[in-house]
Structure 1
Amino acid sequence: MRSALHLKKGDVVDFAGRASSFRLDIPDFVHRCWHVVMVDPCTDRSVAKRLEEDLGLLPYVPQEWRSVPGGRGRKREVQVPMLPGYVLVGLPDLDWTWRAVLATRGVEGFLHRSGSQTPATLSDASVERLRYAERCANNKREKRLAAAGKSEWQPGGDVWVDLVPGFSPLLAKIGATKDPRGRIEILLEEDVFGRRAWSVEPKQLRRVSV
């Protein structure tokens, strides 16, 4: 049994006061909306990790790479949140799911629309635009890595590629990743315009979720 003095906001206990685990276990067929969760300063990634590991959710923290002074006149690249203080979480519009998130350590509350008592939600299209903005923000760095043969994309890996603007992404495999122009070679599952091999920019690629 844990003493109440050792409990922190977000800890889950049973009726005897013992540490317990609690996962939401939301069925796949239940529709989820994107909610904007406000978190304590500089806790974006740690809160997202708790939401994933403790509640079984799939939070999204948009990030970008920035150059910062590293001492002795040098610079180093660090990954920082694009929306500091906010984490996006897909949840059903149900009170009990909101309460579970609010009980998580580091969470301050949900973003609400003016005059509304229920949390504000984002459409899937809005989140997809944010994901694209994230890829664009990191495109220059990924092209530089590809030109140096240090791309984070691994040959043979499965990816979604936005080949034709306005159309659904296509499934492909990564080919060569070293290119002086910073582009990535891919091989499509099916022919498009008479060919399967294409050279694309890193921002056109998306990882395949397992």
Structure 2
Amino acid sequence: MIVEKRWYVVQTYAGYENKVMTNLLKRIETMNMQDKIFRVLIPEEKEVTIKDGVRKEKLKKTFPGYVLVEMIDTDDSWYMVRNTPGVTGFLGSSGKGTRPVPLPTEEIMPILKKMGVTSVEVSLDIEVGQQVLVAAGPFSGQVGKIESIDKEHGKVSVLVDLFGRETPVELDFGQICEVE
């Protein structure tokens, strides 16, 4: 099984997003978790206001009370994040020891693009002509062949069988997995 890093949404007390991010970054370093927890972001966007001819820019939290964490979900990483001061839990986890649900690629990509975070690392070792399994989206469960790879945008073109014909479908890296 391929272990991959995914994005998770961490719930915080309202107004504590910056403190939680600082605490998480310190704990990642002190607990040596850099190989399991990669990025911690507060979803923000620039808000421009013009008052009396003066232009002001400020960062506005897109989702107050939430912090995004890119990590590999292991017992250690999950425990460390949920026990960070100010964290109230994970979005998609009902508590009582249930694991969090990662954000689907099609949901996290627009958020990251809006924030100006466009660097997407390829966590798959794939090449043109290779068979892959579509893991998410309308073609989920189908096996197809990679036609092209766009590493810059984190996309692949996969030929899937649609009504008896090979049809190219554009997918994000997070929507496919390697066939063993």
Normalised TM-score (structure 2): 0.50
Name which structure has the greater RCO, CA cutoff 8 Å, separation 6+: 2
Larger Rg: 1
Between Structure 1 and Structure 2, the one with more strand by share is: 2
**TM-score normalised to structure 1 length:** 0.44
